[in-house]
Amino acid sequence: MTSNPLSFLLQTDGVLLFSIAIATISWLTWMIMKSRKGSTFPFPPGPRGLPLIGNLPFIEPELHRYFTKLREIYGPIFKLRMGKKMFVILGSPSMAKEVLKDHDTTFANHYVMSAATLATYGGSDIVWSPYGSKWRMLRRVCIQELLNAGSLDASSGFRREQVHQMLSDLYAKIGTPVDIGEKLTQTIFNSMTNTLWGSTLKGDADTGVAAEFRQVVGEIGSLMGQPNISDLFPVLQRFDIQGVERKMKGAISWFDRIFDAILDQRLKKDKDAKEENEDSNNKDRKDFLDILLKIKEQADPRTPLTMTHIKALLLDLVGGGTDTSSTTLEWAMAEMLYKPETIRKAQEELDAVVGKDNVIEDHHLTQLHYIDALVKEALRLHPPNPFLIPHTPSETCVVGGYTIPKGAGIFVNLYAIQRDPSLWENPSEFEPNRFLTPGNKWDYRGNDYNYFPFGSGRRICPGISLAERSLVYVLGSLLHSFDWRLPEGTKISLSDQYLGVIKIANPVMAIPTPRLSKPELYALH
Cα 387 to Cα 113: distance, rounded to the nearest angstrom: 15
Q: Residue 7 has what pLDDT?
A: 34
Is the pLDDT confidence value at 348 over 50?
Answer: yes
More confident residue, 39 or 215: 215
Q: Residue 272 has what pLDDT?
A: 76
Q: Residue 277 has what pLDDT?
A: 65
Q: Tell me the pLDDT tens digit for each residue of 327-342.
A: 999 999 999 999 999 9
Q: Tell me the pLDDT tens digit for each residue of 415-424.
A: 999 999 999 9
Q: Tell me the pLDDT tens digit for each residue of 351-403.
A: 999 999 999 999 999 999 999 999 999 999 999 999 999 999 999 999 999 99
Q: Tell me the pLDDT tens digit for each residue of 454-465.
A: 999 999 999 999
Q: Report the pLDDT averaged over residues 147-165.
A: 91
- In terms of Cβ atoms closer than 10 Å to its own Cβ (0-12, 13-18, 19+), residue 207 is exposed
CB atoms within 10 A of CB 472: 22
Residue 351 carries which side chain, given as an amino acid letter?
Answer: D
The mean pLDDT value of the chain amounts to 88
pTM for the predicted model, two decimal places: 0.88
CA quadruple 263, 264, 265, 268: dihedral sign: positive
Contacts of 285 by beta carbon, 8 Å cutoff, 6+ apart: 154, 155, 157, 158, 198
Cα 116 to Cα 316: distance, rounded to the nearest angstrom: 11
Is the pLDDT confidence value at 202 over 70?
Answer: no
Every domain of the chain and the residues it spans: 56-522
Assign 178 a pLDDT band (cuts: 50, 70, 90): very high
Assign 227 a pLDDT band (cuts: 50, 70, 90): confident
Angle among Cα 19, 20, 25 to the nearest 5 degrees reads 100
> Would you say 139 and 462 are in contact if contact means Cβ atoms under 8 Å apart?
yes
Cα 277 to Cα 290: distance, rounded to the nearest angstrom: 18
**Closest by Cα among 97, 89, 40, 84 to 64:** 89
Give the phi and the psi of residue 514 in degrees, each rounded to 5. -65, 145
Q: How far is CA 468 from the centre of its chain?
A: 14
Q: Residue 350 has what pLDDT?
A: 98
Give the C-alpha distances (Å, rounded to integers) separating 485 from 284, 347, 350, 378, 505.
Answer: 41, 14, 18, 19, 19
**Phi-psi map region of 358: left, alpha, beta (phi>0 left; psi -120 to 50 alpha):** beta
> Would you say 82 and 232 are in contact if contact means Cβ atoms under 8 Å apart?
yes
**Closest by Cα among 414, 419, 406, 328 to 374:** 328
Q: Residue 525 has what pLDDT?
A: 62
Q: How far is CA 87 from the centre of its chain?
A: 19
Q: Residue 210 has what pLDDT?
A: 72
> Would you say 107 and 80 are in contact if contact means Cβ atoms under 8 Å apart?
no
Q: Residue 31 has what pLDDT?
A: 41
Q: Residue 16 has what pLDDT?
A: 42
Assign 500 a pLDDT band (cuts: 50, 70, 90): confident
- In terms of Cβ atoms closer than 10 Å to its own Cβ (0-12, 13-18, 19+), residue 303 is middle
279-283, 288-292, 484-488: range with lowest mean pLDDT: 279-283
Q: Residue 204 has what pLDDT?
A: 42
Domain 56-522: which topology? Cytochrome p450 (1.10.630)
Cα 54 to Cα 206: distance, rounded to the nearest angstrom: 49
Q: Residue 278 has what pLDDT?
A: 58
Give the phi and the psi of residue 270 in degrees, each rounded to 5. -65, -40
Cα 28 to Cα 36: distance, rounded to the nearest angstrom: 12
Is the pLDDT confidence value at 265 over 50?
Answer: yes
Assign 471 a pLDDT band (cuts: 50, 70, 90): very high
Q: Tell me the pLDDT tens digit for each residue of 17-76.
A: 444 444 444 444 444 444 444 458 999 999 999 998 999 999 999 999 999 999 999 999
Pairing of strands 85-90, 109-110: unpaired
Q: Residue 39 has what pLDDT?
A: 54
More confident residue, 199 or 109: 109
Q: Residue 15 has what pLDDT?
A: 42
Q: Report the pLDDT averaged over residues 482-486.
A: 97
